[in-house]
Amino acid sequence: MLSAEEERRGNRIEANKVNDVVTPKAKSKNRAANLAALQQLSEAYPNAFDRKNVRPLKIGIQDDLIADEKVAKNKIKRALASYVRSLNYLRSLQDGADRIDINGEASGSVTAEEAQHAKGKLKEINQARREQKREQEKKERMNNKLEALLSMNK
C-alpha cells in the first residue's frame, strides 16, 4: 500500500498532467479561430495570402498589415502565426526565393540560413508525425491484444 505522502505526490503529479494537456475541444476552437483570421487576411490581401500559391512573406509584413488597418491586430497575429507555421509555407522558403509584401510585390529574398532553418523545421515536424503514428499503432496493437485476451476469457 502507498503511504499517504506517496499518494499525495501521485495525485499532485496526476493533477499537473491534467492541467498541462490541451483538450481537443480547445485545440479545435483555436484552429477554427486561426482559419477564420487567415480567411480575413486572404480576402483583404489576395495577392499576398494565396493558399494555392504560398510564397515567402516580407520580413516585417506584420507591421505593414497593422499599419494598413484592414484587419484587427489580434487577427493579424493569429493568422500570421498559423500561416508561417504551415508545411506549404515552410516548403516555400527556398534559398533565393523572392519574399512578397502585402501587394504581392517582390520585397527581399530568402537567405540560405532561413531556407536551412525551414528545412530543419520540416524535418522536425515529419519526425514528430512519424513518432505519433508509431505510438498510435502501438496503442492499437495493445488494444487488439487486450480484446483478444478478454474474448478468450469469456
Instruction: Report mean pLDDT in 10-residue bins for the chain, 154 residues.
Output: 49 47 70 91 92 92 93 92 93 95 94 95 94 95 91 80
Tell me what pLDDT residue 10 has: 52
Task: With CA atoms as reference, report the closest residue to 61 among 51, 132, 44.
Answer: 44
Burial class of residue 117 in the structure, from the number of CB atoms within 10 Å of its CB (0-12 exposed, 13-18 middle, 19+ buried)? middle
Tell me what pLDDT residue 22 has: 56
Domains of the chain, CATH where assigned: 4-110 (1.10.1710.10)
Tell me what pLDDT residue 2 has: 44
- Own/partner pairs, 122-131, CB within 8 angstroms, 24+ separation: 122/87, 122/90, 122/91, 125/87, 125/90
Tell me what pLDDT residue 12 has: 47
Tell me what pLDDT residue 15 has: 43
SS (H, E, C) 54-101: CCCECCCHHHHHHHHCCCCHHHHHHHHHHHHCCHHHHHHCCCCCEEEC
